[in-house]
A and B are shown apart, each in its own frame.
Chain A
Amino acid sequence: MKLELSPEQAFFAGTTRQFLDDKVPTSLLRELRNDPAGFDREFWRQGADLGWTSLLVTEDDGGGSVSGEGVCDLALVAFEFGRYAAPGPLTTANVVTAAVARSGTAEQKAGLLPDLMSGARIGSWAYAEPRPFERLGTVSLQATRRDGRYVLSGHKAPVESAVEAEVFLVTAAAEAGGLTQFVIPADTPGVSVTPMRTLDMTRRYGHVVFDEAAVPDSAVLGEPGAAGDDVERQLQIALVIQLAEMTGAMDRGMEITTEWLFNRYSFGRPLASYQALKHRFADMKSYLEAANGLADAAAQHVQDESARAGEYVSAGKSFLGEYALQVLHECVQFHGGIGVTFEHDLHLYLRRAVLDAQLYGTVADHRDRLTSILESREQLHV
């Protein structure tokens, strides 16, 4: 998280922190373990009141942010989500809201934004696809023109909060090439959801099948066949949230471990006095600062819609996907046996970081993407 926040941003982040501190103690996370939704709708509506779902929407459309830089403010919320391993579809709800706000028609905005921002309806992005289409950016779900309507056929998984969601944002392959996106009600005939199992305590995922689901033209979001830029923007927003959340999880894991190192004694000395551990912890602290630096820089580039936004989110994912996990596993190691029990809190943050590491592109996906970005930039300059 940024070191220098404006007073308004510090207050905003503090409000979310206090709210999460009150509402989601780790005991609740454990209770939610077997809850089908993983979060309480009233909790989500209260979070929406704090601004969680409206930061990427302009004031004209009923949204707004504290700093005027909604992506950066959202990253502050996501950081706290990581620190609390908080429940709620922060990533997917914001992606859908931002997409409608960015490319929706006046009717789409009027019909969807008030409910999405208030938390009355949950929107989820149906983007990733199951094997063999799981590589980042692969879209095989087809949108075919038939009888004046679009017919959607294919599979999407994992889709966050798919059972809870009332609205799906579906990314589909257009007949003539390119991508077309649709915003549709989750109960559209031909759309069915099967809950998946997941390792996170409170995030839930579903496998959504589109079996010749027919949708009207009014469901198209943006230009048919030309949604590539919108999809990239959505991916960047999802990644900014992930990066901040993983950094927050890392930060909390380090905090717990710092306390442990000072308070745990063996052979008459605190663990913090052992050079073998001090040196490793100094490296972990260094990786945490690098994670913070990259996550903040990525948020700023996405906020500014800079030409380097795609590069930064991928570099952030490539770094955090490796180092956040390495650091959190080291935290477990420093704890010994207690660190791998269900009773201890560390696994809550480890789970969240591991979840984030694998979704919206793995480390390997993003390293490959970075290489492609470097190649295309080089060609531009030749």
Chain B
Amino acid sequence: MSDLAQAPDIEDLDSFRYRLRDWLKENMPPADPRRAPFRRMSDEEELALVAYHRELQRRLYDGGFAGIIFAKEYGGAGLTPAHQEVLNEEIVGYEYPARFQVPTFSPCASVIYEFGTDEQKRRHIPAILRGEEIWMQFLSEPGGGSDVAGAQTTAIRDGDEWVINGSKIWTTGAWWSDWGLCLARTNWDVPKHRGLSVFMLKIHQPGIDVHRIEMLNGSKEFCQEFMTDLRIPDSDRIGEVDGGWTVGTRWMYHEKSLGISHYFIRPVGSMRGANLGGPTPLGVARQAGRLDDPVARQLVGEAHTLQLAGQEATARIARGMASRKLSDQAAGISRILAGVLNTRLATINYELAGASAVAWDEQDQPLGDLGVEFLMRQARQIGGGTVEMSRNGVSERLLGMPRETRRDNDVAFREVPRSAPSR
């Protein structure tokens, strides 16, 4: 990394840092807590925020700071992961296009960048960098959550086109997004990993019906899409026909590596690329009037401990993977910690909020929100691949423990037992 940074045609890190610092001061608005990117909001607010983030992304692009490690020929800055780290440090305290980071830049743009043809990359990467395309993952299906290679959405070839039928689920914000990266089954007569292909598709077009799912906290961000005789050109296929799991393996890698990826902006101090924008535990204790309560002070100290532990573990694993001291499988450790530690943090906030977490006066709305977030607590161990999957990955692939037995290898996918259709 440092060798690259010192190559004659690549700007050195200090000069980049000062140039970026000046540019940010001139061009990016200071962070506004009222605009916290992942708080609950009305649809109108949501659309306004997405439009705002498109504009912020465009500003970064115009300033030459979009897509730091993407090649210049695709509109990127052509710099190194070390430059991205500098940007991650310098952008703290500024607004940034949070809605563009995950999953648009990673896993989606990362996968397109690694597997797309030159033509596909020229079509989409610059458009993403300019803020014109927001991408979603068409990955999970109602019939199977963690077992993504068990996709049943089917694509059948028809001349230069593919006809897609099936359903995808848990796409965040598909209703305001532009494109989807879709894993589909193109062959039912071979074992499951050998019959998949990956496609790029426009979300808002005939043949796709986007349905919003209401979560128990009232959020309607997650969507389910129903694809009925959707026709897309073969030129929108990424990777080989039936070779989709080659793409899928990297796709999964990128999804597990969000805490250490250099494909997107992850302001220093945020654990998984997204600053949740909620109150700090110290702020919660103050709002709840409990800063003098020794029990509350223990919880605040514990919460801060876990935040630093998550940060330092993630940084260590990123460094270790970059220097090849740790295998790529170590990314699963970051995912386990993000799930387990954030679950505890949600619990601490709820404990600090006391009775106000379940019944609150209007001025205590922030405390009431924490009660509802506590109901959603396990989402942190579910979204982006469950922690159980990562525990399998870490124990089997990192530590070499025996693999779980499975019933879906070496048999045509058509013959594999499947869940009964649920919805």
Is there contact, CB below 8 Å, between A293 and B305? no
- A sample of 6 cross-chain residue pairs with beta-carbon separation below 8 angstroms, ordered by A number, consists of A3-B323, A4-B325, A279-B388, A279-B391, A285-B394, A286-B313
Interface segment, B33-41, B291-299, B357-365? B291-299
Inter-chain contact B304/A370, CB cutoff 8 Å = yes
CB of B268 within 8 A of chain A?
Answer: no
Quick one: CB contact mask for A239-269 with B, threshold 8 Å, 1 for yes?
A: 0000000000000000000100110000001
Minimal beta-carbon separation of A265 from chain B (angstroms): 12
Distance of A368 from chain B, by nearest CB (Å) = 5
* A296: chain B residues within 8 A (beta carbon): 312, 316
B308 to A, closest residue via Cβ: A315
Query: B340 and A283: CB pair below 8 A?
Result: yes
Question: Which of B313, B314, B317, B390 touches A282 (beta carbons < 8 Å)?
Answer: B390
Q: Bound complex: CA of A367 vs CA of B308, how far in Å? A: 13
* C-alpha spacing A272/B280, complex, angstroms: 40
* Chain A residues engaging chain B, CB cutoff 8 angstroms: 3-4, 258, 261-262, 269-270, 272-273, 275, 278-279, 281-283, 285-286, 289-294, 296-297, 311-312, 314-315, 318-319, 364, 366-371, 374-375, 378
Q: Chain B residues near A269 (CB, 8 Å)?
A: 402
Interface hub of A293, A367, A369 (most chain B Cβ within 10 A): A293
Bound complex: CA of A279 vs CA of B388, how far in Å? 7
Q: Mark B306-343, 1 if CB is under 8 A from A, else 0.
A: 10111111111101100101100010110011001000
* Contact A293 B316, CB 8 Å, known A273-B402, A283-B391: yes
B298 to A367, Cβ gap below 8 A? Answer: yes
B29 within 8 A of A: no
Query: How far is the CB of A135 from the nearest CB of chain B, in Å?
Result: 11
B24 to chain A, nearest CB (A): 20
Once bound together, how far apart are the Cα atoms of A215 and B330, in whole Å? Answer: 56
Given A4-B323, A278-B391, A286-B337; A318-B301 close (CB under 8 Å): yes
Partner of B404, one of A275, A364, A366: A275
Chain B nearest CB, measured from A200 CB (Å):
25
Set of chain B residues within 8 Å of A261, measured between Cβ atoms: 401
| Complex interface bits, B266-293 against A, C-beta within 8 A gives 1, otherwise 0 | 0000000000000010100100000100
Bound together, the chains give a CA A269 to CA B404 distance in angstroms of 12
- The minimal Cβ–Cβ distance linking A280 to chain B, given in whole angstroms, is 8
For the A-B complex, the count of residue pairs with Cβ-Cβ distances under 8 Å equals: 133
- Contact present for A285 and B312 (CB under 8 Å): no
Whether B399 and A282, one on each chain, are in contact in the complex, defined by CB atoms closer than 8 angstroms, is yes
Within the complex, what minimum Cβ distance (angstroms) separates B400 from chain A?
A: 8
Q: Which residues of B contact A (CB under 8 A)?
A: 280, 282, 285, 291, 294, 297-298, 300-302, 304-306, 308-317, 319-320, 323, 325-326, 330, 332-333, 336-337, 340, 388, 390-392, 394-396, 398-399, 401-402, 404
- Name the residue on B nearest A368 (C-beta): B297
> How far, in angstroms, from A293 to B297 measured CA to CA in the complex?
24
Contacts of B392 in A (CB 8 A): 275, 278-279, 282
Residue of A nearest to B323 (CB): A4
Residue of B nearest to A317 (CB): B305
Q: How far is the CA of A3 from the CA of B402 in the complex (A)?
A: 26
| B312–A297 CB distance below 8 A | yes
Docked Cα-Cα span, A286 to B329, in Å, equals 12
A3 with B316: CB separation less than 8 A: yes
Say yes or no: A315 contacts B304, CB within 8 Å.
yes
Smallest beta-carbon distance B203→chain A, Å: 36
A-B pairs with lowest CB-CB distance, top 3: A367-B301, A293-B312, A278-B395
> With A285-B333, A367-B298, A371-B301 known to touch, is A294 a contact of B312 (CB < 8 Å)?
yes
Distance, CA A378 to CA B286, complexed state (A): 12
In the bound complex, residues from chain B placing their C-beta under 8 Å from that of A368 are: 294, 297-298, 301
Contact B402–A272 (Cβ < 8 Å): yes
Bound Cα distance from A315 to B308, whole angstroms: 7
A290 to B259, CA, bound (A): 14
Question: A290 to B378, alpha carbons, bound, how many Å?
Answer: 21
Nearest CB on B from A38, distance (A): 31
Shortest CB distance B295–A (Å)? 10
**CB proximity of B291 to chain A, nearest CB, Å:** 7
Cβ distance A65 to chain B, nearest Cβ, rounded Å:
22
**Chain B contacts of A281 at CB under 8 A?**
395, 399, 401
With A and B bound together, what is the CA distance between A200 and B125 in angstroms?
A: 60
CB distance from A336 to the nearest CB of B (A): 18
Collect the chain B residues with CB atoms within 8 Å of residue A289's CB: 313, 316-317, 330, 333, 337
